[in-house]
């Protein structure tokens, strides 16, 4: 006895993934037809079955379960029974296993039309057998016994599956798998993290895709980065890091001297003055300890150090060729550091405190600079008066016209001012001096000194300095007189006197040449009188 189990399937080659592997048109199942009652008999020479699809599509394959091995084929007809032959394909059947026959040419079917499937090559003898109407669908053989190969109704069900192969936009992808069936420029709708028109690719490093259906990945904005593929968003740069480029695949750590307390930043903050940052990827700056400070962007602090102040002392008085002992001990340093002294004079430089006075009498500048081991002070200057006790003496008397601005107490006072003086070194180097000066205008300013500290003679020029008193004042006043003997230099006699209050911070109270330097040559002509420089 030959036996046959038959299942007819119009297969769908469905690719239900988001990635299309090629642009070959594919099909999807759109309908399944079936018979839910047993097939009641076999005809001779072969079994056949009709079906009516409700959807238009194509038959692409047929699956049969033959019981015996034989040569045969598959035929599909339009209509019931012997209609128009639509497909005829030879098949070598192998018994007792399901066998799928892929049609060499898909057979189109139309919804509502009747079609017949005839698998042939398995012949059943005349009056071989019938199938009873019992619910279990058993086959009755020769009216006497039954064959239980078909032990249940499902074994004899007949099924047809209709597939759809329509490509509306002609892009090579059937409508059933085309996310955009009317757009020939794309066929897939990629999930977030992926992009593409016909193939879904993961977002590369440094990019992201936030929404479905993207055609391109977006670069990560500055302040963010992505170090993974298929990212749906970018990561914010962490505190202590920054990202200053589009499409960054990594964040950059803040260097020493900088920091960043916030996330998502494009640069780092420079440490403020008075703070430091000595590690990379810092999220905060650190204040310098008390007594220390720093510049902007520092990686360490340094001890606060202010420049010292030089105090040169003086003026210094020395005879020609004698030793001058200088004293900068009044110089100060805010931090109390030890100071190194450097003295600079018209006649040389020394780091010590002793000079040898020059051989020529005169008034010289000498300046002191002190250093605390780190910073220099500004130079502070004083005078060195070098005299020659054997050089001679000076005398003078007369009057000048006192200019405006000369008298501090009354700058508008002008008029005649009389003077008289003498200064002379005696035997043994002792200096004798007498000086008188009186301005009658502006309140009758009267100065008198009975001594002097030093006298310097240099050609036609003489200068001496000492201290005295101003009438009707109990303060002590310093003074200097500078004169030129016109007879010795071929010019005219000239006179200058300068008086300052030693009890009031050395405030200048009178200067016949207001604004000129202390050691400037005299420029005020005598209105009357005479000046004589006596040389030995």
Cα separations in angstroms, 65 against 1, 12, 102: 16, 20, 15
CA angle 186, 190, 196 (to 5 degrees): 50
Report how far residue 12's alpha carbon sits from residue 300's, in angstroms, rounded to the nearest whole number.
74
3-class SS at 488? helix
CA 46 to chain centre: 85
3-class SS at 486? helix
Asked if 500 contacts 509 with a C-beta cutoff of 8 angstroms, the reply is yes
Supply the pTM of this predicted model: 0.43
Cα separations in angstroms, 284 against 21, 265, 272, 273, 500: 52, 14, 11, 14, 59
Residue-level pLDDT, tens digit, the chain, 536 residues? 333 333 333 322 222 222 333 334 445 555 555 443 344 443 333 457 777 887 777 777 777 666 668 888 888 899 987 789 999 999 988 876 767 788 888 788 888 888 888 877 654 333 334 444 434 434 333 333 333 333 333 333 345 555 656 778 888 888 778 899 899 999 999 999 999 999 999 999 999 999 999 999 999 999 999 999 999 999 999 999 999 999 999 999 999 999 999 999 999 999 999 999 999 999 999 999 998 999 999 999 988 888 999 999 877 888 888 888 888 899 999 888 899 999 988 776 666 677 777 777 777 888 999 999 889 999 998 888 888 877 788 999 999 999 999 999 899 999 999 999 999 888 777 888 999 999 987 668 999 998 888 888 888 999 999 999 999 899 999 999 999 999 998 899 999 999 999 999 999 999 999 989 887 899 999 999 999 998 76
145 beta partners: 141
Write out the H or E segment, with its range, that includes residue 420.
Answer: strand 415-425
Report how far residue 487's alpha carbon sits from residue 490's, in angstroms, rounded to the nearest whole number.
5
Q: Where are the domains of the chain?
A: 4-164, 189-304, 316-387, 392-535
Omega within 30 of 0 (cis) for the link into 393: no
User: How many C-beta neighbours within 10 Å does residue 270 have?
Assistant: 16
Report how far residue 173's alpha carbon sits from residue 443's, in angstroms, rounded to the nearest whole number.
118
3-class SS at 475? coil
The confidence score (pLDDT) of residue 72 equals 86
**What φ, ψ does residue 153 adopt, rounded to 5°?**
-60, -35
Largest CA distance in the chain: 178
In CATH, what class is 4-164? mainly beta
Q: DSSP states of 321-372 as a string?
A: TPEEEP--TT-B-TT----EEEEEETTEEESSSEEEPPSS-EEEEEEEEEE-
Q: Thinking of the domain 316-387, which architecture would CATH place it in?
A: Sandwich (2.60)
Token pair for residue 472?
A: 């009707």
3-class SS at 176? helix
Asked if 466 contacts 452 with a C-beta cutoff of 8 angstroms, the reply is yes
The confidence score (pLDDT) of residue 127 equals 35
Among residues 379, 488, 388, the alpha carbon closest in space to that of 431 is found at 388
Report how far residue 32's alpha carbon sits from residue 161's, in angstroms, rounded to the nearest whole number.
4
DSSP letter, residue 133: -
Contacts (Cβ under 8 Å, ≥6 apart) of 134: none
3-class SS at 159? strand
The confidence score (pLDDT) of residue 351 equals 65
Asked if 172 contacts 179 with a C-beta cutoff of 8 angstroms, the reply is no
The confidence score (pLDDT) of residue 183 equals 94
Sign of CA dihedral 116, 119, 121, 124: negative
Token pair for residue 326?
A: 């200088």
Q: How many residues appear in the chain?
A: 536
Write out the H or E segment, with its range, that includes residue 489.
Answer: helix 486-489
């Amino acid at each position: 006895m030959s036996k046959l189990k038959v299942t007819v399937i119009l297969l769908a080659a469905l690719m239900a993934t988001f990635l299309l592997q090629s642009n070959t048109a594919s099909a999807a199942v759109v309908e399944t037809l079936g018979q839910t009652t047993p097939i009641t008999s076999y005809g001779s020479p072969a079994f056949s079955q009709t079906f009516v699809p409700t959807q238009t599509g194509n038959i692409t394959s047929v699956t049969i379960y033959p019981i015996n091995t034989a040569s045969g084929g598959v035929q599909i007809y339009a209509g019931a029974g012997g209609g128009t032959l639509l497909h005829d394909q030879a098949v070598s059947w192998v018994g007792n296993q399901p066998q799928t026959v892929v049609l060499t040419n898909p057979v189109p079917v139309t919804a509502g039309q009747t079609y017949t499937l005839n698998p042939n090559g398995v012949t059943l003898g005349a009056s071989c057998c019938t199938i009873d109407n019992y619910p279990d669908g058993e086959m009755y053989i020769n009216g006497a016994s039954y064959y239980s190969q078909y032990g249940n109704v499902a074994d004899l069900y007949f099924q047809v599956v209709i597939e759809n192969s329509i490509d509306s936009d002609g892009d090579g992808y059937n409508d059933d798998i085309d996310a955009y069936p009317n757009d020939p420029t794309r066929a897939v709708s990629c999930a977030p993290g992926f992009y593409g028109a016909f193939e879904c690719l993961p977002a590369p490093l440094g990019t992201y895709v936030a929404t479905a259906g993207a055609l391109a990945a977006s670069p990560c904005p500055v302040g963010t980065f992505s170090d993974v593929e298929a990212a749906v968003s970018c990561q914010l740069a962490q505190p202590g890091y920054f990202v200053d480029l589009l499409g960054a695949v990594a964040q950059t750590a803040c260097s020493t001297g900088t920091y960043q307390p916030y996330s998502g930043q494009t640069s780092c903050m420079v440490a403020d003055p008075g703070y430091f940052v000595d590690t990379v990827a810092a999220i905060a700056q650190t204040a310098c300890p008390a007594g220390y400070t720093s510049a902007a962007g520092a990686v360490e602090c340094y001890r606060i150090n202010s420049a010292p102040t030089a105090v040169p002392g003086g003026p210094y008085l020395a005879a020609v060729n004698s030793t001058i002992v200088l004293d900068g001990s009044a110089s100060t340093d805010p931090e109390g550091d030890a100071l190194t002294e450097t003295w600079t004079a018209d006649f040389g430089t020394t780091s010590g405190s002793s000079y040898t006075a020059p051989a020529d009498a005169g008034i010289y500048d000498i300046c002191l600079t002190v250093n605390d081991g780190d910073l220099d002070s500004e130079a502070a200057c004083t005078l060195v008066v070098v005299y020659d006790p054997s050089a001679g003496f000076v005398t003078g008397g007369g009057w000048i016209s006192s200019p405006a601005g000369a008298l501090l107490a009354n700058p508008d006072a002008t008029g005649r001012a009389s003077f008289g003086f003498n200064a002379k070194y005696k035997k043994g180097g002792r200096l004798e001096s007498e000086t008188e000066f009186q301005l009658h205008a502006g309140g009758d300013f009267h100065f008198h000194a009975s001594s002097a500290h030093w006298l310097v003679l240099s050609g036609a020029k003489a200068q001496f300095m000492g201290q005295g008193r101003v009438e009707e004042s109990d303060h002590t006043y310093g003074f200097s007189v500078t004169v030129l003997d016109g007879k010795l230099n071929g010019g005219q006699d000239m006179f200058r006197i300068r008086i300052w209050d030693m009890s009031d911070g050395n405030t200048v109270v009178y200067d016949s040449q207001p604004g000129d330097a202390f050691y400037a040559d005299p420029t005020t002509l005598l209105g009357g009188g005479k000046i004589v420089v006596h040389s030995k």
